[in-house]
Structure 1
Amino acid sequence: MSHLTGKRVAILAADGFEQSELLEPMRALKEHDATVDVVSPEAGKVQGFKHFEKGEQVAVDVKLSDAEAGRYDALVIPGGLFNPDTLRIDEKALAFTREFFKAGKPVAAICHGPWVLANAGVLEGRTVTSVPNIRKDLENAGAKWTDEEVVVDQGLVTSRTPDDLPAFCAKLIEEIDEGKHRGQQRSAA
């Protein structure tokens, strides 16, 4: 079991995130002693969903306009339909996301979460996975899409659905534990 003591992770979320895709990585990160902040365009709370039904609300720790990517060691972008659809047109969210890539820090996105990466312009030449319905969007953004439980490419961790959360969380922890990434490309199941 790796320990992430001293590591700080941002989970970028807006209303409509898939509840398990935020709460499970958050739980796994905290179990490994990471500090986790929910970062959102709005202060207060963000509304989770269990597919199409409203779920839990989660407190926002840092408003996006106050968030600095340099203060974090990694970024997690949960899926759901509404969450990434909101974030992918928010220039502050896209700029925040780009900063992690510029610094070579681990980034993890699941389900529809890679939509944000596509709009941030950071997928060119990257191998990723996601829910199949956004495959063409990711390919149009320059990514090579593959249908696997979890894909790791130079610190970028992607997965398809909540069913893949155990593998997604394990690889997320591993990538944060390793630190900055440059030049290595691999896929894992």
Structure 2
Amino acid sequence: MAEQSVSGKTIAFLVSTEGIEQAELTGPWEAVKEAGGTPVLLSTESGEVQAFNHLDKADTFGVDKVVDDVSVDDFDGLVLPGGAPNGDLLRTFESAVTFVRGFVESGKPTAVICHAPWVLVEADVVRGKQVTSWPSLQTDLRNAGAEWVDQEVVVDGNLVTSRQPDDIPAFNREFLALVAQAA
């Protein structure tokens, strides 16, 4: 699937400690690696994070860095995987919200899927943007000033959003294209 080369680019994957939808972490992670990029797993704590296949526990993944210890300048792109608990927990950590706000405002490519747009709402970075998400978030996104649409992938400036695991191929394609084009 490595249609775009992102060789030499470092991509942050920011997650909470649990409730990450595994396919929404591993699908984009593998796409970044296949395109020549370096994925880095960030979380709110060191150690391991627990992924899920919907409501069932899946694999654990080792955290590379804690979000408190990094800067937007350390990365060329950002992916926020979904999972309802992941998105809900992540938006309660001010350092994670601040990092996401800084990333979106920097103009660097930012890709957000499923329930992860809750973090965008908390960061107040969707006003005037066209986005998509898991359907249950549409009221939250509209209330935050976004135009919510039901499409597999939406690109608005540096922001890529998708609804669910079935959308991962389109999500990866659009995100990698933005990263490849970024200076």
TM-score interval, smaller chain: over 0.9
Deviation at 1:102, TM superposition (A): 2.0
Instruction: Name which of 10, 13, 24 aligns with 2:12.
Output: 10
Paired residue for 1:186? none
Paired residue for 1:80? 83
Taking only the aligned residue pairs, the percentage that are identical comes to: 46
Paired residue for 1:127? 130
Which amino acid counterpart does residue 12 of structure 2 have in structure 1? Answer: A
Paired residue for 2:181? 178
Partner Cα distance (1:27, 1:123) in 2: 27
Instruction: Name which of 164, 172, 178 aligns with 1:161.
Output: 164
**Which runs of 5 or more residues in structure 1 are unaligned?**
181-189
Query: How many pairs were matched up?
Result: 180
* Preserved contact between residue 104 and residue 158 of structure 2 (Cα < 8 Å): no
TM-score (normalizing by structure 2): 0.96
Paired residue for 1:66? 69
Secondary structure of 1:38's counterpart equals strand
RMSD: 0.8
Paired residue for 1:183? none
Deviation at 1:148, TM superposition (A): 0.2
Paired residue for 1:184? none
Secondary structure of 2:101's counterpart equals helix
Deviation at 1:63, TM superposition (A): 0.9
Partner Cα distance (2:176, 2:104) in 1: 17
- CA deviations over 1:83-115 (Å, ceiling 9, x no partner): 110111110001100111221101000000111
Which amino acid counterpart does residue 164 of structure 1 have in structure 2? Answer: D
- CA deviations over 1:118-159 (Å, ceiling 9, x no partner): 100000100000010010000111100000000000010000
Deviation at 1:177, TM superposition (A): 0.7
Which amino acid counterpart does residue 6 of structure 1 have in structure 2? Answer: G
Paired residue for 1:46? 49
Partner Cα distance (1:63, 1:103) in 2: 20
- CA deviations over 1:19-59 (Å, ceiling 9, x no partner): 00000000000000101101000101100000000001011
Secondary structure of 1:112's counterpart equals coil
**Which runs of 5 or more residues in structure 2 are unaligned?**
none
Partner Cα distance (2:119, 2:149) in 1: 18
- CA deviations over 1:50-89 (Å, ceiling 9, x no partner): 0000001011101111111111011100110111101111
TM-score (normalizing by structure 1): 0.93
Deviation at 1:160, TM superposition (A): 0.4
Paired residue for 1:187? none
Paired residue for 1:185? none
Q: Which runs of 4+ in 1 moved over 4 A?
A: none
Secondary structure of 2:60's counterpart equals strand
